[in-house]
Copies of this chain bind each other. A is one copy, B any other.
Amino acid sequence: MTASRSLSNPGVVAQETIEKVRKAVEATGYIPNLVAGGFKSKRSLLIAGLVPAVSVAQFLPTLQSMTQVLDRAGYQLILGQSGYDHSREEPLLHTMIGRRPDGIIITGLVHSAAARARLQKVGIPVVETWDLTDHPVDMVVGFSHIKVGSAIAGFFLARGYKHLAIATGDDHRGALRREGFLAACGREVPTAMVPAPSSMELGRRALSEVLAQDPRVEAIYCSSDQLAQGVMAEALARGLRVPGDLAVCGFGNADFAAHSQPSLTTVDVDGAGIGKLAAEMIIARCNDQPISKSIVDVGFQIVERQSTAAPG
């Protein structure tokens, strides 16, 4: 009836009628059923957001800014945790598609071919994030982890470090960075692989492992700042000076990286920017607006701090 119009498109209704409706709404405490509305109009105003785990600090700024941008445009985020093994990817995606969201934002790439095909078939706008590929399901905004890896290795080598090592989570993106790192080194290096998500605790163990493999290690790249923090703590406990005896580089530029003692060299990625962009791209696509680029490289930056001051 007219009531619906008064609420959703008041411009086309008489002022007097609007007022009557408003009073009725007030009196009854009526709250429109968005589900029914979305059901009929085919616009749920829901965006599915998939992360490996919400507890990964790494993706928080992304999630935060995404939610914010979406909210301002009237969209809500429905959250899914895909876990770090890929087995849950497909069922999760299945459930999410069942909810007919207007868009899907995924942290990382969609790995299963079946899931990719299905997503493409249903035609829901999809943004993959925090990674890069020439063949996204739909859109992608991220950066190259391989390049990050080789940039860090190059950074160490340029400063004269010879004996390099890696402490990394066993997730896909970590593996890519390791790959890039090794490529730039031109050979294998001592590596401690820890189960994602990483933590300080795991960082301490990782350093022990690496040193057991090769006690001469003088520079180590860690796949997260948390891991790096653990490595530094373990170094301290062993009487190794950072950066004197051991140079450390993290990844993520966490809050504490600038303030730790010594401050931590790390890789800065604009996580909030990724979230904002992803949300904007989804929203644009939902409104049939053209997307200028469906593959966006936001890049990254090595932030040099005390933990890698050049040796000798």
Contacts and interface: CB of A to CB of B under 8 A. Distances in A.
A148 B49 CA distance: 35
Nearest to A98: B34
B79 A76 contact: yes
Interface in A206-246: 226, 229-230, 233, 236
Interface string A40-80: 00001010010001110100110110011001000011111
Interface in A106-162: 118, 121-122
Given A54-B60, A76-B78, A78-B79, A200 B259 contact: yes
Contact of A201 (B34, B79, B80, B255): B255
A23 interface: no
Contacts of A44: 35
Q: How many copies does the complex hold?
A: 2
A100 interface: yes
Contacts of A259: 200-201, 204, 229-230, 233
Contact of A71 (B81, B226, B229, B260): B81
A98 B233 contact: no
Contacts of A289: none
Contact of A98 (B32, B68, B200, B230): B32
Given A35-B99, A76-B99, A229-B256, A54 B54 contact: yes
Nearest to A71: B81
B29 A118 contact: yes
A11 to B, nearest CB: 21
B79 A29 contact: no
Nearest to A260: B233
Nearest to A233: B259
A10 to B, nearest CB: 17
Interface residues of A, number: 54
A2 interface: no
Contacts of A99: 34-35, 76
- Among A44, A46, A259, A261: residue with most chain B CB under 10 A: A259
A238 to B, nearest CB: 13
B54 A63 contact: yes
A99 B36 CA distance: 9
Contact of A31 (B31, B71, B97): B97
30 contacts: A31-B94, A33-B98, A33-B100, A34-B95, A34-B99, A34-B100, A35-B35, A35-B44, A39-B39, A46-B78, A49-B79, A54-B54, A54-B64, A55-B61, A55-B64, A57-B57, A76-B78, A76-B79, A77-B79, A79-B79, A199-B255, A200-B255, A200-B256, A204-B259, A226-B256, A230-B259, A233-B259, A233-B260, A256-B256, A261-B261
Interface of A: 29, 31-36, 38-39, 44, 46, 49, 53-55, 57, 60-61, 63-64, 67-68, 71, 76-81, 94-100, 118, 121-122, 199-201, 204, 226, 229-230, 233, 236, 255-256, 258-261
